[in-house]
Amino acid sequence: PPQPGQQPGLPYGQPNPYAQQPVYGAYPPPTMPPPPPGGPDKKRTAIIIGSVLAVLLAVGGTVFAVSGGDDDGAKPSAGAGEKGGGEDGDSAEIDGGGGDGDDEAGARPGDDGLTGSGGKGEGKVLWQKPAPDVPKSGVDTPGFWLADGSAVKAALESVTAYDAGKGKEKWSVELGGPVCASSVNATSDGRVAVAYEGEKKDKCSHLALIDLKKGKKVWDKALPQGGGFGGFIGTTVAVGGDTVGSSWFGGSALFRLEDGKELTDTARVSGCTPNGFAGGGTFLLRSYSCTEGGRLQKLSSGGKAEWTYQAPKGFNVSNIFSADPVVVSLSDKDNKSGGILAIGGDGKVRSQIDLGKETYRPACGLRIMSQKLDGCQGVAASDDTFYLPTEDKKQSGDGFGRYNEIHAFDLDTGKRKWKSAAGDDLTMMPLRTDGGNLIAYQRPTYEKSGRIVSIGAKGGKPTTLMQNPAAARDAENGFYSPFLVYEDGRFYLASDRVTGTSSGSPEKLLLVIGKG
């Protein structure tokens, strides 16, 4: 039986209480010793995916069965007893400075300096932003982007840009209410969409387009119609190409990116309910819930349908792990998993990911009546490969240590290409691809800070790119629900929610670690 604090793995075909439920902790803590406060993803929903039950899929008119087979027994490229590369970082020093962000970047009075020594291979805290004061009920703070040398964060009633290297504020755009949803990605020219709260019981009813390069609001408007409960519930928004898509419980709409004009939705599938969008750079993906099998639609210029994929009867798209290439998960009304599919450029199934008997735990955010399908972290995809983290595994022996692995899958065949273990007492999650390599975040432990690692195109032992300073370990662990980005040698932790209940060091809205 699972230990206290450990979420049990669920076999494929069994009800999944974690899917789209407000259950937190994609990476459960070990039972001993008592955990420190927080954890980078301690309250992100765990999406548990296994594969034992056969699922019939129709591909180009051909029906075939896909079922989980036995694990192939391949040994991890970096075994459970092998450490990841690099130093352990325990030599980091606290110098009381707090980096360039101590005063200019808003460190609270009394904050410990977290810069670290900045020695060989070790990062230091470049700057940080304290979380705003909020009620103890907490406040969502969705939205973080990098653009034109700026790190841009949405929080409360504004979207604010900071110098990516030093943390100095560059501009701020005020909104008419608290931000309640945001597009995950920006367009190629640096535009993002945010939703914010309206008046009365319309919870998340207004939409604005922000130009991140100019620091200006392009347009601002109310959503066209309310949801089924007298307001806008579970509103989400995505941008792609020249179109903005927004959905909420009971409605959806398309808007022209340039001026916010609502578009006539000629591509909408009749008899189905739109349940979310994802941005794909030059296009949008839109998902529908349908009795005869969910639909996934690629919308090109002006919201025109380029193709529509139909899922097997009884299944709908539950998460869009990647929009380009298209990788999605399916589930039924009881949250039983229908597996993970790669969809090709023609809208037909490219492959079904062969998950074997393994259980995987990407972190897919808080989902209470939310339409957000593209909010998963801990997954990554390149043109030909998809990466997933496994659930935490107990190490051999009598100890309480746990580790996990990252598995790489061929998107053309669905077969696993390799697996790489984090090492003793270590867990890691994919962040993004870098050419043929994978960039991953090795999470902090009770004794050590986290690190950024790289795994080669053929797998193998993780190589350390940057060791976070030991002095930043508690800060890394202190985020409620961080959005994680590693870019240009800097690691950004941006809070998606401020709890207002911090009992240790003050909560942070942003923390940026780099080599200077």
Of 75, 67, 52, 8, the closest CA to residue 357 belongs to 52
> What does pTM read for this prediction?
0.80
14 inside domain: no
The predicted structure's pLDDT at residue 346: 96
The predicted structure's pLDDT at residue 121: 78
Domain count, the chain: 1
359 inside domain: yes
CB-CB contact of 12 with 49 (8 Å): yes
The predicted structure's pLDDT at residue 201: 61
Buried b (16+ CB within 10 A) or exposed e, 128-160: bbbbeebeeeebbbbbbbbbeebbbbbbbeebb
Show the tokens assigned to 93.
Answer: 């020093």
Question: Any idea what the CATH number is for the domain that residue 114 is in?
Answer: 2.130.10.10
CA 120 to chain centre: 30
17 inside domain: no
348 inside domain: yes
18 inside domain: no
166 inside domain: yes
Domain that includes residue 345, residue range: 55-514
- Across the chain, which has 516 residues, the per-10-residue mean pLDDT values are 30 32 29 37 47 35 29 35 32 29 34 51 94 91 96 98 98 96 95 91 88 98 72 91 93 96 93 92 94 95 96 95 97 87 98 96 74 92 98 80 95 98 94 97 92 97 96 88 95 94 81 91
The single residue listed with the structure tokens 């996990």 is 404
> Amino acid identity, residue 243?
T
Please compute Rg for the chain using Cα positions: 22
Question: Own/partner pairs for 52-60, CB < 8 Å, 24+ apart?
Answer: 52/11, 52/12, 52/13, 52/357, 53/12, 53/13, 53/336, 55/312, 55/315, 55/330, 55/338, 55/339, 55/352, 56/312, 57/312, 57/341, 57/349, 57/352, 58/310, 58/312, 59/348, 59/349, 60/348
The predicted structure's pLDDT at residue 58: 34
CB-CB contact of 252 with 244 (8 Å): no
167 inside domain: yes
The predicted structure's pLDDT at residue 2: 33
The predicted structure's pLDDT at residue 172: 98
38 inside domain: no
